[in-house]
Amino acid sequence: MSVLVYVEQAEGKFKKSVFEAVSYAKAIADQQSTNLSAISIGDVAESELKELGKYGASKVLNVSADQLKTFVNQAYASVIAAAASKESADIVVLSNSFSGKGLAPRIAVKLEAGLADGAVELPSTDGKFSVKKTAFSGKAFAITELTSANKVIALNPNAFGVKENATDASIENFAADIKQSDLGTVIKDIVRATDKVSLPDAELVVSAGRGLKGPENWGMIEELAGLLGAATACSKPVSDADWRPHSEHVGQTGIAISPNLYIAIGISGAIQHLAGVSSSKVIVVINKDPEAPFFKVADYGIVGDAFEVVPKLIEALKAHKG
Ligand SMILES: Cc1cc2nc3c(=O)[nH]c(=O)nc-3n(C[C@H](O)[C@H](O)[C@H](O)COP(=O)(O)OP(=O)(O)OC[C@H]3O[C@@H](n4cnc5c(N)ncnc54)[C@H](O)[C@@H]3O)c2cc1C
């Protein structure tokens, strides 16, 4: 028995959500009085792999194969399942990120495991293995009992936090057997359509709604996002009206995100919008209506006209940077 955590990398680096998943997996390993191993797929420098020890991984399996240089759902799931068997891991943890959402059910099928995706807390320790997870597009929580021998848990970003737990991680190369049948669809090359921060992975997001009145007013939103190094997002009516691209639509019917900071400008805070953003760590709301529902879930609120508040924020950020 042990715990295995999949550590997703992007261009050879681990994101904060990975360190959070490792911290969470380490806490589960401690609950179960067992060890934590990690599996990394792709080209990652040894110094970066060693970083995982800081959060409690005592061993890192490193898979570096030409066929796995870009993300392939089926093949990655097979490799992670093989690593779980090698480590005798009965619990596999990963981040409920964009790719984690595709991987978690595939790993669960391969390991004949019960799945809790969107976990927000550690499993209970009352004799049952129950996990609190989000349900109904984040509008409710469900307590899911996993009764199978193997278990897969996908942790929602920003649900647990990063916790240091200094361990000396050993690095081991893992030559996984890659089946041709897992390589049916292979990404040959990724050409970025924009050099802006990608929304599903963004740590900071500046989002705006119908309160902005029209697409011609997005200049200040872009400028604020640029100064913060943030991605831009919008409410559904804004993308429906083609003021912004559909790829920016967040919420129940759009992308669900959990950034560290979500700034909502001229967005009312309808339940369908909140479903996709309410698990953000810090929410800042700028709205001229003090009764706007968004203020109920805001950590910080500014009651004011976006056309006055946003330029002042931009000015203050420029002064701070300068
Ligand atoms: C099945 C279904 C699924 C849906 N899915 C989604 C979804 O995924 N995502 C989503 O966003 N919506 C979704 N919706 C729509 C949702 O119900 C709301 O209609 C929508 O979120 C409202 O968008 P908004 O807040 O931009 O616009 P509005 O509701 O029009 O709100 C505009 C806000 O801007 C404020 N404002 C106006 N002028 C200013 C100013 N000058 N300065 C500051 N504030 C100002 C107003 O006070 C108001 O609060 C869905 C609806 C349904 C029925």
119/209 same-domain check: no
11/131 same-domain check: yes
Provide the pLDDT for residue 105: 98
Residues near 111 by beta carbon (within 8 Å), at least 6 away in sequence: 81, 84, 92, 150, 152
Ligand 1 within 6 A of CB of 199: no
CATH code at position 265: 3.40.50.1220
**Residue 130: inside a domain, yes or no?**
yes
Residue 32 token pair: 């179960």
Provide the pLDDT for residue 136: 85
Provide the pLDDT for residue 294: 98
Q: Which residue has the tokens 């009085």?
A: 33
Number of domains in the chain: 2
Ranges of the chain with pLDDT below 50: none
- Say how far apart CA 65 and CA 79 lie, in whole Å: 11
Burial-class residue 263 by CB neighbours within 10 Å (0-12, 13-18, 19+): buried
Provide the pLDDT for residue 111: 98
Provide the pLDDT for residue 195: 73
**Residue 189: inside a domain, yes or no?**
no
> Of 126, 149, 183, which marks where a domain is finished?
183
Provide the pLDDT for residue 66: 87
Domain that holds residue 306: 199-321
24/141 same-domain check: yes
The per-residue b/e assignment along 41-69, b for 16 or more CB within 10 angstroms, e otherwise, is: bbebeeebbebbbbbbbbbbbbbeeeebe
108/137 same-domain check: yes
**Residue 193: inside a domain, yes or no?**
no
24/171 same-domain check: yes
155/253 same-domain check: no
31/58 same-domain check: yes
235/177 same-domain check: no
- Say how far apart CA 144 and CA 6 lie, in whole Å: 21
Ligand 1 within 6 A of CB of 288: yes
List, as residue ranges, the binding site for FAD. Answer: 210, 266-273, 287
Closest CA to 209 of 240, 255, 231: 240
- pLDDT tens for 185-207 read 877 777 777 777 778 888 899 99
**Residue 194: inside a domain, yes or no?**
no
156/226 same-domain check: no
- pLDDT tens for 21-52 read 999 999 999 999 999 999 999 999 999 999 99
Supply the ipTM of this predicted assembly: 0.99
Provide the pLDDT for residue 30: 97
**Residue 191: inside a domain, yes or no?**
no
208/153 same-domain check: no
Provide the pLDDT for residue 194: 73
Ligand 1 within 6 A of CB of 217: no
16/147 same-domain check: yes
List, as residue ranges, the binding site. Answer: 210, 266-273, 287
What is the pTM for the complete model shown?
0.85
- Say how far apart CA 312 and CA 279 lie, in whole Å: 27
Ligand 1 within 6 A of CB of 162: no
147/215 same-domain check: no
